[in-house]
Amino acid sequence: MTAGTTGAEEVPEAHGEWRGWREAAQEALYGPAGFYRAGPEGPAGHFRTSVHASPLFAAAVARLLCRVDEALGRPAPLAFVDMAAGRGELVTGVLAALPAEVSARTRAYAVEVAGRPEGLDHRIEWLAEPPRGVTGLLFANEWLDNVPVEVAEVDAAGVARRVLVRGDGTERLGGPVAGAEAAWLARWWPLPGEEGLRAEIGLPRDTAWASAVASLDAGLAVAADYAHTVDSRPPFGTLTGFRAGRETRPVPDGSCDITAHVALDACASAHAARCAPDRTPSDALVRPQREALRALGLTGVRPPLALASTDPAAYVRALTRASQAAELLAPGGLGDFGWLLQPVGGVDAAALLVDVADDEEQ
């Protein structure tokens, strides 16, 4: 077993029953006293996403929505669906960045388990589930990493077993992984028979993503998240916690975020497999956030120093913009996030990403 795992007899009953990580995290994050329902500040009080890093992110998403709009022939209404909307920061920023003509046709939806924040723009519909049958762009920024999953760990005999957890975060191994979960591991995250190796079983995320994409009649669904692919799975998994801006041990008691990186390649395949016979899946793309944002106009290019002499205020504004863009594009940081672009109804995802001048390592 890995460090921190133990036998049931060593843990007091006060810490609650043994449960799989999926059930425990579901209650800790989304239950009545869950992490995502607490506090007016929402997730922004505990961690910083691309949305919080700079308004440039929302502006880039607005630019993508405009490209989807053009590809769809400028429909009315045009939907923008913000999955896991937090306190509405992204959808608010997108509406503010849209050209007036596009904004006038846009219906904005925020999908979130927490209640509607006070003072939110009246144009934004606040929903617990994504609207069905809409046409436009569904954007899920750091949603799938918070869809709870089971964790598997290889025991001394080389068998992959479910990891069980109690309310204080103490773990032990349960029964062998079987059925659809075992099939998912074999296809998407094969575990060699080496004791202590771990994996997160992404099946619930595949299902959640396929359902979200199916809510679109036509358009594009994008998942932007911490990610890995089958050729680069981390040997000990990625399950972790965040509290007050710091990474911490994941404890399913509602006091911290519980997250794990996403197998975006599996999510893309899951949507294709679940398409109805009369709906042919379009080609999905997985791209680094750095590449996607550059294609949407962000470069991180610093302004010429001469501007500081001729127009100091403009220089400061441009320098601030460049600094914010550089953070969103940074290798080893937000720039390494994965974007899964899943087109629906004949939209060409590749055509929506128009290259701009490459500004390597900004």
Residue 7 pLDDT exceeds 70: no
Q: Is the preceding omega at residue 55 within 30 degrees of 0, hence cis?
A: no
Q: What stretch of H or E contains 217?
A: strand 216-225
Find all residues with CB under 8 Å of 170, minimum gap 6, and list them.
Answer: 4, 5, 6, 11, 15
Question: Which amino acid is located at 250 in the chain?
Answer: P
Residue with more model confidence, 319 or 149 = 149
Most confident listed range (286-290, 325-329, 357-361): 286-290
> pLDDT digits over 236-269, tens only?
999 999 988 789 999 999 999 999 999 999 999 8
CA atoms within 13 A on the CB side of 250: 22
SS3 135: strand
Q: Span 52-80, mean pLDDT?
A: 93
Q: What share of the chain is helix, strand, coil (3-state, %, to 5)?
A: 35, 25, 40
Q: b/e per residue, 271-305, with b = 16+ CB within 10 A?
A: beebeeeeeebbebbbbbbbbbbbbbebbbebbee
DSSP 8-state code for residue 60: H
SS3 62: helix
Q: What is the pTM of this model?
A: 0.86
Question: End-to-end CA distance of the chain, in Å?
Answer: 42
Where on the phi/psi map is residue 196: left (φ > 0), alpha (ψ -120 to 50), or beta? left
> pLDDT digits over 151-180, tens only?
999 999 999 999 999 999 999 999 999 999
